[in-house]
Structures are given as structure tokens and as C-alpha cells.
Amino acid sequence: MKYIVAVIQPHRLDAVREALSSLGVQGMTVTEVRGFGRQKGQTEIYRGAEYTVQYVPKVKIELAVSASIADSVVDAIGNAARTGHIGDGKVFVLPLEGAMRVRTGEMGADAL
Amino acid sequence: MIDAGNTAWLITATALVLFMTLPGLALFYGGLVRAENLLSVLMQCFAIACLVSLLWLGLAYSLTFSGSGAYLGDVNRLMLLGVARDAAFPNTAIPETVFFMFQMTFAIITPALIIGAFVERMRFSAVLLFTLLWVFLVYVPVAHWVWGGGWLAARGVLDFAGGLVVHLTAGVSALVIAVLLGPRTGFPADIKPPHAPWMTMAGACMLWVGWFGFNAGSALKAGGDAGMAMTVTHVSAATAALVWIAIEWLKFGKPSMVGAVTGAVAGLASITPASGYVGPAAAVVIGLAGGIICYFMVGLVKRRLRIDDSLDVFAVHGVGGALGIVLTAIFVDAALGGVGLAEGRSIGGQLAIQLTGIAATLLWSAVVSFAIAKVVQAVIGLRVNAEVEEQGLDLRLHGERGYNM
């Protein structure tokens, strides 16, 4: 099992969700987050004065998948989230030691 | 004799002008600060409105509009004593109670405008004490000089709805208190951007609508003067907003909404003293001038002079008001579409009077506001400590949060 964490541009979320659904991914968790990477924040201008916004709004997606489809999930997220501009985000893949479906008590891969 | 139509319009105008402060100005300013200070700004506007109302009833109204002293009125209208229910205010056809209420809303919004200079860092107690002293020592005398039959009125100064009395007094005092208080921590590089520009837009729109009461109500009667005042007010606001949009579009490639609504307010402040005297073509010129000059004054004060007049009270209101006072001398001329200069007076002669008014208002406001701020500083201190400033005034001074999410 793999745990995949992706930080993407908020406006690409629907495209990523659709791409993952077509791969058969059953669920994911989405959080609105703020952060910076090479984009290093952004500049906003109010009344002629520049304000540096250090942390830019992003969306973080988290999902647990079986190891066999992890690579295709990463590809799907990347393709759907990519605009080619700085600030498109990153995808991280972590090993996942266990899982439980709370309703039934199923454990491991059965719980995904 | 009290006239029903005039009275009805002035009661309506009074409500419109109060609406400018509550909640118009409060929201306009509230959107421009960070989220942790929203309630403090709303609270300052609200509390000032309540405090000034009682000051106005108690003594301030009488000192402004009763008696004929050159520099100050008398105490005959203290607590409105002796004002009969059906008595008209002299030279008007409206009850004195309505005149009293209408003028009260001006006395409320003027110190509330100054809030923009000291947001996010001034003690609430200091705001209240400053306002109390400021109303009696700055607003009341200047309003008496110009509108209460004082020495500037005797010279023939033209200030229809408060370029001197409202906008210049507030703007200059704002600059003084911004200097004495010092900038917000992190100014200018690390200031957080406005937390809710939409709120600023909503507030600006309330100001715009309320300004019809402010300027057209200042005719003190329903009729042609009120109609033209409303027209030129609207034209100037729209023109100055477009100017601001154009400048930002050219300069940054993106016309901002906060900029557009700030432009409208600059246009409204600029037309205020002229609104009863000029025609619609002049309003376009006044809006153009107000938009351009106020835009560049914002940059001058904040970036060149490095004064944290946080929400640009001086650059927008002080400068706009003074500019309107100057341009009134020109566009009041009948040949330029105005109501005409006083018998035997030239544009140059009127201009000299207007400049005298600006100089006197500017000096008085600056010196007295400086003294008041020093007194407040000595008695209770002006500024919250660094920790309170960082955590925000809402939670630390008022015990609430603007957003519980």
C-alpha cells in the first residue's frame, strides 16, 4: 500500500479528481493549505503598494492506494494538475503500513 | 415656517449620512485591515458614533451653531434647551431638531474618518479620549468658523458640505496622529494585505449612496440646489473611479477593485465643498483632478515620506477636500456653469479666501491635534504593546474574533 500526498493548484482539483476517478480510485481527502516553493509567494498590489504574499493558497490531496496502481495514480495527478507554470505543486509517495475501514473493521488492502 | 417637503428630505438625508458611518465607513475600513483587527475597526466607528452623539447634544452643537462669535458659538443650545418642537432653524424651513440631527451625522463621520490613520495599533481608550477632545477642540471651532457664522463665513468662504470642516480637518489630523503613533510593525515591507477587499467595496458603495445625503442634504432644502448637488456628486465619483482604474491599468497592467473604489471616494471628497456651487461639466474636471492627485498623494505619503497613514486618510480625504476647496473658487463662476461668484468678487479674490480657509484649517487641525495626541499619550498612552499588536486588537482589546471558523 502507498500513501500519496499531492499539493496542487486549487483550480486543478476537479481535473485531478476526474482523472483519479477514471482510474478507479474510491476516495481521497482534500485540504485547503498555504505554502511556498520555488514560486516564493506572490505579489499583490493594493492602492499602488506592493504586498508580498509569502504563502500562496494550494490544495493538498491525500489518498491511500494499493502499490500496484501507485505509479499510474502519480502520473494521473501530474497530468491533470500540470499547467506548465511555476507553482504547479508536487506529489509525494509514502509507504503505508496499515489501514482500517472504520465501519466494518476490514484491515489492510481490503480497507482501501 | 416649517416646510413638509424640505423636512422630509432632510430627515432622509440625515439617515443617509449616518449610514455612511454605520456601517459604510466601518466596512470600507474594516476590509482593508488584517482579519485579526476587523472588529476593532468596526467597534471604533460604532463607539465614536455613540460618543459624538452625546457630545453633540450636550454642548458641541450649541458651541458650533448657536451665537455669532467669530471663533466659537455660545452655550444657549446646551442639551437643546429652549428648542421648541416646532421651531425652524434660522434661515431654513426645517425644524431645528432635524438640523441638529443632520449636522450631528457630520460631527460623527469626521472623527471616524481619522480611524484610518491609526488602525491596528491604537488603544481603544486612547481612541475615545482623542475623539472627545478632538470634537470640541478641532471640529467644533472649524465648523463654527465655516458654517456657524464665524470668521471664515464672514469672509465668504465657500465650503458647501465640508471640504474644510470634514475632510481637511480629518485628513490633517490623521497625518499628525499617524506620525506621533508611528508605523505598524513591519511597515512598509511586511504589512499584510487587506483581509476582505469585497467588504471595502461594499462599504465604499454605502459611502457613495450616503454621500447623496451628505452633499444634496447640505442644501438644507429639497429643490434645484439639492438636485444639482446630487448630480455633480455622482459624476465626480464616477470620473475619479475611472481615473484610478486607468492609472492602475497603465501602471501595473491590472486595474484593481480596491483602487477603483478608493478613486470613487477621492472623487466624492473632492466634489464635497463644490457640490452646491458647480455644474456637471465642472464635476468631471473635479473628478479627474481628484482622482489623479489623490492617487499620487497616496504614494507620496506612504512610500516617499514613509508615514503609515494606514488607510490613506490624508491623501484621499485631506487632499481631496482641499483640492475641492480650491477648484470651487474657479468653477463657481457662472461662465463655467456655476451658481456665480458673490457680487463684485473675482475668481482670484474668491481663491484667496479659499486658500485662507485651507491655511487656517490646516494649521489649526495640525497644531491642536498634535497637542491632543500628546495629552492622550501622557494620560493613558496611545499605542498597544507589540504583543497585542501582533496578536490583533480584536481578541486582546475586545475579547472577540471577527471570524470563528
Which pLDDT score, from 0 to 100, does residue A52 have? 82
Angle B178-B181-B182 from CA coordinates, rounded to 5°: 80
**Does pTM surpass 0.90?**
yes
Angle B388-B391-B20 from CA coordinates, rounded to 5°: 90
- Given an 8 Å threshold on Cβ–Cβ distance, is A49 in contact with B188? yes
H/E stretch holding A97: none
Q: Is any Cβ of chain A less than 8 angstroms from the Cβ of B259?
A: yes
Annotate B40-72 with three-state secondary structure.
HHHHHHHHHHHHHHHHHHHHHHHHHHCCCCCCC
Q: What is the mean pLDDT of chain B?
A: 97
Using CB atoms, pick whichever of B188, B254, B259 lies closest to residue A47.
Answer: B259
Q: How far is A47 from chain B (nearest CA, A)?
A: 5
SS3 content of chain B, % helix, strand, coil (to 5): 75, 0, 25
Which pLDDT score, from 0 to 100, does residue A16 have? 97
Residue B321 burial (CB < 10 Å; 0-12/13-18/19+)?
A: buried
**B135 closest CA partner among B74, B190, B66, B56:** B56
Q: How many domains does chain A have?
A: 1
B145: three-class secondary structure by DSSP: helix
Interface confidence (ipTM) of the complex: 0.78
The residues, ordered by sequence, that sit 6+ positions from A40 with a Cβ below 8 Å of its Cβ are none
Cα-Cα-Cα-Cα dihedral sign, residues B236, B237, B239, B244: positive
User: Which residue in B28, B245, B258, B317 has the most chain A C-beta atoms within 10 A of its own C-beta, making it the best mutation to test that interface?
Assistant: B258
Domain residues of chain B, as ranges?
4-398
- Given an 8 Å threshold on Cβ–Cβ distance, is B254 in contact with A45? yes
Q: How far is B46 from chain A (nearest CA, A)?
A: 26
The angle, 0 to 180 degrees and rounded to 10, between the axes of the packed helices B347-379 and B319-331 is: 160
Q: Is any Cβ of chain A less than 8 angstroms from the Cβ of B9?
A: no
Q: Is any Cβ of chain A less than 8 angstroms from the Cβ of B258?
A: yes
Q: Give the nearest chain A residue to B296 (CA atoms).
A: A48
Which CATH number goes with the domain that contains A55? 3.30.70.120
Share of chain B above pLDDT 70, in %: 100
Distances from the Cα of B160 to the Cαs of B61, B220, B269, in angstroms?
18, 11, 12
Q: How far is A45 from chain B (nearest CA, A)?
A: 8
- Given an 8 Å threshold on Cβ–Cβ distance, is A48 in contact with B251? yes
Distances from the Cα of B343 to the Cαs of A14, B156, B273, B325, B340, in angstroms?
72, 11, 20, 19, 9
Which pLDDT score, from 0 to 100, does residue A89 have? 94
Cα-Cα-Cα-Cα dihedral sign, residues B142, B143, B147, B149: negative
Q: Number of Cβ pairs closer than 8 Å across A and B?
A: 34
Q: Is B241:B264 a contact under the CB 8 Å cutoff?
A: yes
Which pLDDT score, from 0 to 100, does residue B226 have? 98
Order of strands across the sheet with A29-35? A29-35, A56-65, A2-8, A89-95
Q: How far is A48 from chain B (nearest CA, A)?
A: 7
Confidence label for B190 from pLDDT (cuts 50, 70 and 90): confident
Does the structure show a pLDDT above 80 at B266?
yes
Query: Any idea which fold B4-398 has?
Result: Ammonium transporter fold (1.10.3430)
Does the structure show a pLDDT above 80 at A40?
no
Boundaries of domain holding A41: 2-111
Cβ neighbours of B302 in A, within 8 Å: 49
pLDDT, tens digit, 9 for 90 and up, residues B16-73: 999 999 999 999 999 999 999 999 999 999 999 999 999 999 999 999 999 999 999 9
Which pLDDT score, from 0 to 100, does residue B298 have? 97
Q: Is B22:B46 a contact under the CB 8 Å cutoff?
A: yes
**B294 closest CA partner among B234, B209, B237:** B237
Q: Is any Cβ of chain A less than 8 angstroms from the Cβ of B193?
A: yes
Confidence label for B276 from pLDDT (cuts 50, 70 and 90): very high
- Given an 8 Å threshold on Cβ–Cβ distance, is A48 in contact with B194? no
- Given an 8 Å threshold on Cβ–Cβ distance, is A45 in contact with B303? no
